[in-house]
Amino acid sequence: MTPMKEDYLKIIFELGGSHKKVSNKEISLGLGIAAGSVTEMISKLADEGLVVHEPYAGISLTEKGQKYAAELVRKHRLWETFLVDKLNYNFADVHPEAEVLEHQTSDRLASALDEFLGHPDHCPHGGVIPSSKGAFPDVSHRLLAEANDGETVELERFLDNHELLTYLEELNLRPDDQVQVIRHEPFEGPIVIKKPGDDQEINVSYKAAHNIFIK
């Protein structure tokens, strides 16, 4: 399977495609590519029995697709955890390294790494780490972009994207942070937030707000 196909499976997994249907737009925003390209690749994945695409309803992973995606995500996030916790990598810089390492990791090595790390259940950017059998807990699929003005929410996890993580590092935002939504600027403008007890407003771009999950 090509790395691009694997990236699609991982992003559909992250967006909740194991439990619900996700849209072309969500995938497009998550991968930073044109919607037309998404349609073409989803068709290929459907032909391989990895996803189900219902027009006007959305895309979800098949059992085969979910198993494959969970295995990729598990190895990727175990390496991210190792790089941050044991090698002191910066929060935003682990994704490219883990992207390479996941493809060279056998199931045996993944199990040994999991044991060495003490069986972590989340990676540094808040994503769940599936078990060796592909099991994973329910997580929120509500986006920061969907929060109401005046609402206080907790940042749960960020999509696994190097550009996004670097951007959020610059904004000093991390999983588990509490933030209050001040307003949504019009015409796909930023979502303006601030942390409790801090009067400084933070502008989170429209795209980034669709890649941040809250609870």
- Check residues 3 and 209 and name the one with the higher pLDDT: 209
Instruction: With a cut of 90, say whether residue 101 has pLDDT above it.
Output: yes
pLDDT in tens, 7-60: 899 999 988 888 889 998 889 888 888 888 898 999 999 999 999 998 888 999
Radius of gyration of the chain (CA): 17
Beta-bridged to residue 58, according to DSSP, are 54
Tell me how far apart the alpha carbons of residues 215 and 213 are, in angstroms, rounded to a whole number: 7
Q: What is the pLDDT of residue 59?
A: 95
Kindly give, in sequence order, each residue whose CB lies less than 8 Å from that of residue 191, ignoring residues fewer than 6 positions away.
144, 145, 147, 181, 183, 184, 185, 203, 204, 206, 209
Does the pTM of the predicted model rise above 0.85?
yes
Q: Is the dihedral of CA 181, 187, 188, 190 positive or negative?
A: negative
Tokens of 81: 């955890």
pLDDT level of residue 140 (50, 70, 90 thresholds): confident
